[in-house]
Amino acid sequence: MANALRDDPTVSERLQRRERWTEALVAGGRDEIDAAFRAGGAAAPRFAWNPGADDLEADACRFLLRYWHGLRGDKDVAPAAAIDPAAMRPALGYVLLLDVIEEGADFRYRLYGSLVTSVSSRDMTGRLMSEHHASDYVVDFTIACGRAGLRRRLPLCTMRFPAGTEYTRAWERLQLPLAGPDGSITRLLIGNVPTDHSGGVLRPRF
């Protein structure tokens, strides 16, 4: 099945695009990424490696960054085994936890925050990132971010401005790598916070 997918011209092009975008994100490049978002009617996303807490807008993301740094101690990456959902209560509704599949071929949502589910009207728990209902270029960008994170082993903050949404101005997404016993990145801890057009955190409308 994997080979059949690679033989499909459309799928093959998207797989190649994900790899190009991974390389671009690792190196800090953005031209092709920006062009794809603009072609889809959206503003170009912002991204920054290894942000400080003051570089983040959302309280939930700032909390998760401090939590991750506290867990990692003198290591470069926090251990996945140390993650405690109860300790993340201030950010829990905005937390996504993903398992790395085949060294970044895909990512599976182990946890999909309740507030993210409510705002987006989708629960992706147990599903692959490649199955996400977002636009193709958004999915490819998100997968490329995950892959780049495996390579750089650093926190990555992105700010995405979705096209055609009535209430959501932006999604601030903080991606934090988590290591398994052998030191390889096995999971990603994500804070994903939507904001409205006034800059406030967007909450469910019911």
User: pLDDT, tens digit, for every residue of 157-181?
Assistant: 999 998 766 667 789 999 999 999 9
CATH class as words, domain 2-195: alpha beta
Beta bridge partners, 109, equal 98
Vertex 3, ends 108 and 129: CA angle to 5°?
15
Q: How much is the pTM?
A: 0.90
Exposure pattern of 26-54 as b/e (b: 16+ CB <10 Å)? beeebeebeebbeeeebeebebeeebeee
Q: What is the pLDDT of residues 79-107, one digit of tens each?
A: 999 999 999 999 999 999 999 999 999 99
Give the integer Cα–Cα distance in Å for 131 and 62: 28
Query: Residue 165's beta-bridge partner residues?
Result: none
No. of helices (H) and no. of strands (E), the chain: 6, 7
